[in-house]
Amino acid sequence: MRRAEADPRIEARRKEPVPTETDPVIEALVQDIIGKVADKWTMLILEALHEHGTLRFTQLGKAIGRISQKMLTQTVRQMEQDGLVRRTVHPVIPPHVDYALTPLGESLGAAFCGVWIWAETHHAEIKRAREAFSSRECRRPVQA
């Protein structure tokens, strides 16, 4: 994933003390957004558009790979509804539809970039932990 620019507003908020109370409206929004963007297809679409810029529907599907047209359609519509993707229909025959990240979508890409960097940084540790867990599970007696 291409390294995205950090959002100065978010970086400033990170330095503030953690609030003692959370706004229930914000908490509900965060849970809703995490539920939508944490699925693999949203993240892969986000990454493809971040890497390649504006793509046609078929180009987007090829960039992601192994996604059905139905799932691609559902996911980009949800992303459009949340303001992450801009869909542009060109009135030509045959119809030509482009998808691009909005500034809001780009800012989510910057946030996801942090997860990417974290995973890259801790890859070896995660691999060792998984291998250790797997070897313990193989030695564990089967319980009825």
Q: Is 93 helix (H, G, I), strand (E, B) or coil?
A: coil
- Letter string b/e over residues 121-133, b meaning 16 or more CB atoms within 10 A of that residue's CB: eeeeeeeeeeeee
pLDDT at residue 1 in the model = 53
* Stretch 72-91: mean pLDDT: 96
Rounded to the nearest 5°, which phi and psi values hold at 34?
Answer: -60, -40
Quick one: DSSP state of residue 16?
A: S
Is the peptide bond between 95 and the residue preceding it cis, with omega within 30 degrees of 0? no
Report pLDDT digits (tens) over 14-36: 788 888 888 898 888 888 888 87
- 84-120 pLDDT, tens digit per residue, is 999 999 999 988 999 999 999 998 887 877 777 888 8
**Residue 2 confidence (pLDDT) above 60:** no
Better-scored residue on pLDDT, 39 or 67: 67
- What was the pLDDT predicted at 46? 92
Q: State the average pLDDT for the chain.
A: 88
Q: What is the model's pLDDT at position 95?
A: 87
